[in-house]
Amino acid sequence: MSCSKTGIGLAGFGTVGSGVWKIIERNGGLINSRSQGAISIAIRKIAVRDLTKTRGADAPNDLFTTNLMDVVEDPSVDIVVELIGGTTAAFDLIAAALKAQKPVVTGNKALLAERGAELFALSAEMKTSIYFEAAVAGGIPIIKAIQESLIGNQIEDIVGIINGTSNYILQRMTEAGLGYPEALKEAKDLGYAEADETLDVNGWDAAHKAILLGSLAHGFLIDPTDVYVRGIEKITPLDISFASNLGYVVKLLSFVRLKENGAVEIRTQPSFISKKHILASVNGVFNAVAIKGDGLGESLFYGRGAGQEPTASSVISDLAEAARSIRNADSNRGFLPHRSDGQLVPIAETETSYYIRFSVKDQLGVIADISRILADVGLGISGTHSPVDPDNPDAEFVEMVFLLHSCRFGPLKTALAKVEELDCITARPVVFRIEKL
């Protein structure tokens, strides 16, 4: 180690990076006292792109550099914190840190889910850990819960609301009647969204987090190309209002479910859940992860899933652990896959009830035509809903909602492709799963 304090090289001083600085300034002494002097950290280098930018925290100018590799190569740096995002420069930075045997702390779920196999292999080879508490569910200590607190449990089920931006947008659309673009702008202004919000709204940010949770829980690295993902970007106020009339709210949910045959079902998509379910009241930037372990039973982790200090709080918990690992090499503990036989459930085999909205030309036999196609593949209808506009009861085009009993996704997809060929169908059917949690 360089000197009595553990030196931190911080790559990125945006929303989260500047939060890390602020909390260390405020609570560095507290961390030191709590650890009985074992953890004393100091930021020694900060990499950013633009030295002229006004920052949300006052760090001395002489710490700043625009050369990312300075945060690895500076001899006073013992631990590298990657908070720049993306999967290219961040990959190179983390690889360089591991090769220099400097432990890494990151909140970069996209990088770990997409290129974790390479980085975790390098981490094992170099006997140097990657810590990533901030990568899933912001401030909620869910990674340590799975790795440490639940180590004695077979994890049977994880259901999570794990993207703060989507959850915030859905709530603002539901409760304030905002349109999608206005709600997204608010989430960006509040620092919840990624620099490029595409991954937040297309479901992939949540899916990356689910991939990390699933990999930790089940011991094999889940390949993102095998994961079914849908986002919130096409959700309309119409479906939110129909959901509400039927007793549901719309949430972006991620599932990691162990099936009886040992395969793992993993998917992320906007779903209907009963307004009475506890997850229905998880609002705004809050995340919740419900975990069922065979020993523990059900438990719920709840807290802020994004934003400056909640996320920095997780980064600092990793920093403390990384600092300890430097003093005691035996406590090194990142993630290593331990199963080679892990399998995923094909999405066509997954089963739930469904809400399907068809936009149709109001002509004779429409309901019969759709019902016949559904029945042909064995799908049962549990209800229908077709509101008539009182100002225009003879409208030529109408919205028709079908609620389906629990069924496999495969036959439903086949049936929907056939329904789309009907002359009376005027748009692609809108499909939501109805989850019984």
Minimum separation from the CB atom of position 15 to ligand NAP (A): 4
- Count, residues near ligand HSE per rule CB under 6 A: 11
Which position among 21, 44, 70, 85 is part of the footprint of ligand NAP (CB under 6 A)? 85
Tokens 């673009």 correspond to: 181
Encoded amino acid at 44, one letter: R
Q: Answer yes or no whether residue 84 interacts with ligand NAP by CB under 6 A.
A: yes
Residue 56 binds ligand NAP, judged by CB under 6 A: no
Q: CB of 176: closest distance to ligand NAP in angstroms?
A: 21
User: Which among ligand HSE, ligand NAP, none contacts residue 163 (Cβ within 5 to 8 A by kind)?
Assistant: ligand HSE
Our finding on whether 14 is near ligand NAP (CB under 6 A) is: yes
Q: Does 103 bind ligand NAP (CB under 6 A)?
A: no
Distance of alpha carbon 140 from alpha carbon 138, whole angstroms: 6
Binding string to ligand NAP for residues 247 to 286, with x set by CB under 6 A, is what? ----------------------------------------
- Strand ranges inside 86-221, DSSP E: 104-106, 130-131, 155-161
* Nearer residue to ligand HSE within complex by CB, 200 or 369: 200
Lookup result for tokens 């710490």 = 63
> Which residue in 4, 36, 37, 50 binds ligand NAP (CB under 6 A)?
50
Work out whether strand 155-161 and strand 228-229 pair parallel, antiparallel, or are unpaired: unpaired
- How many chain residues are in contact with ligand NAP, going by CB under 6 A? 27
Residue 138 in contact with ligand NAP, rule: CB under 6 A = yes
Contact call for residue 239 and ligand HSE (CB under 6 A): no
Please choose, from the candidates 169, 263, 268, the residue with its C-alpha nearest in 3D space to the C-alpha of residue 209. Answer: 268
Which of the residues 131 through 190 are near ligand HSE (CB under 6 A)?
Answer: 138, 163-165
> Is there a catalytic annotation at residue 45?
no
**Burial class for 32, CB neighbours closer than 10 Å (0-12, 13-18, 19+):** middle
Q: What would the two tokens of residue 112 be?
A: 């770990």
Q: What minimum distance in Å lies between the beta carbon of 200 and ligand HSE?
A: 5
Please report how close the Cβ of residue 288 comes to ligand NAP at its closest, in angstroms.
Answer: 16
Tokens linked to 163: 């993207």
The helices-and-strands tally (H runs, E runs) of the chain is 13, 16
Q: Which residues partner with 290 through β-bridges?
A: 159, 300
The piece of 82-90, 192-200, 257-265, 391-399 that touches ligand HSE (CB under 6 A) is: 192-200
Out of 9, 103, 107, 334, the only residue in the binding site for ligand NAP (CB under 6 A) is 107
Task: Determine which one of 5, 45, 102, 209 is catalytic.
Answer: 209
Contact call for residue 194 and ligand HSE (CB under 6 A): yes
For position 311 contacting ligand NAP by CB under 6 A, the verdict is yes
Which residues on adjacent β-strands are paired with residue 402?
356, 384
Closest distance of CB 206 from ligand HSE, Å: 7
User: Which H/E stretch holds residue 184?
Assistant: helix 180-189
CB atoms within 10 A of CB 77: 23
Among 46, 111, 193, 400, binds ligand HSE (CB under 6 A): 193
Please report how close the Cβ of residue 365 comes to ligand HSE at its closest, in angstroms. 46
Dist. CA 301–CA 137, nearest whole Å: 9
Q: Are 8 and 28 in contact (CB under 8 A)?
A: no
Is 13 an interacting residue with respect to ligand NAP (CB under 6 A)? yes
- What is the closest distance, in whole angstroms, from the C-beta atom of residue 308 to ligand NAP in the complex? 7
Based on the shown chain and the rule CB under 6 A, indicate whether residue 47 belongs to the binding site for ligand NAP: yes
Q: Please tell me the distance from the alpha carbon of residue 76 to that of residue 63, in angstroms, as a whole number.
A: 12
What are the two backbone dihedrals, phi and then psi, of residue 402, each rounded to the nearest 5 degrees?
A: -115, 130
Q: Are strands 264-274 and 228-229 parallel, antiparallel or unpaired?
A: parallel
- Please tell me what DSSP assigns to residue 223: P
Decide if 177 contacts 237 (C-beta within 8 A). Answer: yes
Other CB atoms within 10 Å distance of the CB of residue 123: 23
Find the angle CA(429)-CA(432)-CA(435) to the nearest 5 degrees. Answer: 155
Contact region for ligand NAP (CB under 6 A) — 80-88, 177-185, 350-358, 409-417?
Answer: 80-88
Residues in the chain, total: 437
Q: Which residues bind ligand NAP (CB under 6 A)?
A: 12-17, 47-50, 53, 68, 83-85, 89, 107-108, 134, 138, 191-192, 194-195, 306-307, 311
Catalytic residues, which ones?
A: 209
Q: Which residues bind ligand HSE (CB under 6 A)?
A: 138, 163-165, 192-194, 200, 205, 305-306
